[in-house]
Structure 1
Amino acid sequence: MKKIVKFVGILLAFVAFAMVASPQSARAAHSNYRVKTLKTYRIQTNSGSNVAFHAKPGTKATLWVNPDSVNAKQIKSSVFHKKGIKLSSYKTTTWFVQTKVRIYQHSKSATYYYVNNRYGSVVGYVRTNALKRGFSPYGYQITGIKWYGKYDSFHVKSAYKQKNVYVWNYTHTKRVANLKHYPGANFAKTADVVMRHNGKNSKYVYLVGSLNGTANSVHGYVPAAAITSGLNPDHTGMNYVPIDDFVNNTDFNQYLQTGKNQKLAREILKLFPNSKPDLELSKIAVKNYDHFTESMNSEGDPISTKGYTDIKTFPTIQKWLYAHSKSSNATKIAGIKKLLDKKGYTASKWQSLSDDNLGIQIVNNIAFNYPEHDLFGRKNSYTFILGKPDNN
């Protein structure tokens, strides 16, 4: 009997607790904002013009930042009002509408747009009567975008290399770089863009690339009139130029003779004074004969050697150079000469090789911080070969 009484007591206590707790839960749920989607908007143009809105002049509305609420059915009041921004402070911003919703709480309700800025860094709810259709008439507005899906090279036109050519950030409010100071840079293009400023449309291209071949990429908008397609034949100021980024033998030889990191290469060229540096043979040297573990080209795919015969390689010298990558250039040249002698290439024989061209790439302990190409730290490539051009 005592057990039954005890059980009934526990049951009554539980019921009493439920009666106390349930109204609180109900009130908490009732205090949430209910969200009803009235319309979902679909972007129909690359520029987003069909869903573009901007703040009405003089609006005092607040945009409530809610980045994760696009499909929400309910939102806690504390979450909805956690962060607000004054729309009047964003008059240069064009807002892109994702949905139109009705938000309810108790007996009140209001209609909102769920919007984001172009780059998605600000997302949230704003009253529909605070926005006006169309791009903002202030600042720089992207009114046209054509995406470029190819990995071609672009560079500053020769006529603009002595002029200020600025790379602008996303909002065209900050200069990222002046390409006047980086005439040797190559870039990839991701888009052709039309920007409107003060009612006037101007054409831009969005470019990405390293300014010196070894540093982290810059990216931004550049006036299209200053840019041309194709590989850059000017390598002024470049710390490193990939073997596939040369136009022909002319710019390749100029780079060997003037490149800031080509001092060791120039010393090697002196060992073969009658052998012409050859770009195509150099590509063969890099892609076919530089698969050493320490080489930055260790995983390259071999290419055809068509056009050349009697190719002479020097793997023993390469192996020695990789083992002594931190040594001085003087030590390296002395080592190369010694190993050439052992191979039977005496000084007189070097100088008699007038029928052989020279394929060469020297990356001599160059520092990289180029994450876009997975290049970090010190890198090396020591490869040179001789080959006779096949003129048949």
Structure 2
Amino acid sequence: MQGFALYPFDPPGDIAALRADLRAWLASNQPQDDVVSRANCWASFDPDFSRALGAAGYIGMTLPARYGGRDRHPLERYVVIEELLAAGAPVGAHWIADRQTGPLILRYGSEEQRQRYLPGIAKGELYACIGLSEPSAGSDLAAVRTSARETAEGWRVNGQKIWTTGAHLSHVMLTLVRTEEGSERNAGLSQLLIDLDTAGITIRPIIDMAGNHDFNEVFFDDVLVPHGALVGERGQGWKQVTAELGLERSGPERYLSSHALLVALIDATGPDPDPALATLIGELTAEMWTLRQLSMSTAAKLAAGEDPMVEASVVKELGNAFEQDMPRRVQAIVTSGWDDENDLAKLLRALLIASPSFSLRGGTREVIRGIIARGLGLR
């Protein structure tokens, strides 16, 4: 049994100075986007901003300096991400590359891969997507069918990925494939770094109910990629993916996706709130603070080299419940109409439409609860 344990930690360095420096930088460099774009900032694609953020040293912070990084502590990066999301900065272009792809390449990749990809990630100029879900393997990643057959020329990849965020804007996909013919479930899986301009790749948009294009279908038709595209060990893709998803599931986005709505609610309330409204604001603030402490403690375990799969899953499960429930709880008590154009009404409309998807990204709640149960020895 893996168990579950979170503990206090001492943040490294001068966190207050880091926050102050970043806030000053954002005051001079952050685009003045509309309130809904700021609330959805992790999906807002702005290459110029990402490039400027990289030049200022706020991307690839934990990477070694020899790969273009800053040799900073993971919890310092956590604070930077927290500040960027709270400010609504458009981090979508570099988001996945900085959060998942870079750390995974550093941990499992070859020296050639590190030198090829990490400097561009740290500069905010190389964008990545994650190829996991398939039409028959959405929440069940172990059912992946996309195959990669090794030949004298390289890997021949055939199959399809779906719900791939940002594939149409990315340079490279970290792709989970089945490299062992006849293997089943989580055995025989590997990861390949595939350049998305390679011949035989087709990317088709998926437009969501709000009219946004974040997701894609990606088709691989006898795509040839070099032998050196293999990340880590052949057949160890499942182990590597679970480590990667720990980075996705435990970050500050788990409690900041609906943060802008809480801020707008407080701004609209004024100094003499209705008792029911004051109670709701207090409840939401306390829940967000609790999630923040859980998330930071999990990040501290990751920084210490531990594998907090259960803890990260708990953060995601509780965070999903919080960020999905908040719009409904606010809707039940505020007086803004659906057609109003104030910030509170705009954000409430946007989040009521978007929040059902929050529990899908990074694994459904059912899958996450199964991980927690197994980790606690309950199944």
User: Could you say which TM-score interval applies, normalised by the shorter chain?
Assistant: under 0.3
Higher RCO (C-alpha 8 Å, min separation 6): 2
Q: Which structure's residues are more often helix, by fraction?
A: 2
TM-score calculated relative to the size of structure 1: 0.22
More strand by share: 1
Under a length normalisation based on structure 2, what TM-score does the superposition of the two structures give? 0.22
